Structure 1
């Protein structure tokens, strides 16, 4: 736990050094309201990391990056963390949380899932209607007639 807090503070200090914009973290309930049991699991925590959209512009608008933390299953309070950032275009890391729930790495490490700018549960979404638009195209009759 101490290393996670130290790592988080180090990131905040590093990213904000010489910059006026501030960074903050806000806890919230689960990103999956359809599964209320997730909120009751003490090994899972959720929140938003608020950062400037443009670090070079002090008065730039803010972005809220969605974060989920899956504590290690061994109960270590000083476990090292693994930060997971999804590599696919437009995909969020938190959506794939199910993969990490029983993952062997979780036995000794906390898993931090971060939805990067405009993806997953982060706000604002860069292209919020793209998924719906693709589904509409696929739903149309595409026959040659």
Structure 2
């Protein structure tokens, strides 16, 4: 986004798009199996470490919301994305705006997963009921 300042619609577009990989990286590190061992190490450290700053540092890798701030800062620096203002304040605004949009995406994704899981449970329940009814009907035919 270097060069002339982007228009507000372009900035909003960048905000919405840039928040997607931020949400993806934050969720992957904090929840997915591929990072389980480092995450468990960080949980132990944030629980057992004596030094306050080290406990807080390790906590960052166990909290999706906290970690998303650092991921957002990294992506904003990587893309040179500024929101509303073309100086350093534009970076600050863009980091926090990216965090809130990314966390909105994460909440929507979590809700979608709950809905999908609920639909799967309901489908299994119906399939089991139909199988039971079919077995009962088959016994009646004999």
Please report the TM-score for the alignment, with normalisation by the length of structure 2: 0.28
Higher strand share: 1
Tell which has more relative contact order, 1 or 2 (C-alpha 8 A, sep 6+). Answer: 2
* Larger CA Rg, structure 1 vs 2: 2
Please report the TM-score for the alignment, with normalisation by the length of structure 1: 0.28
Higher helix share: 2
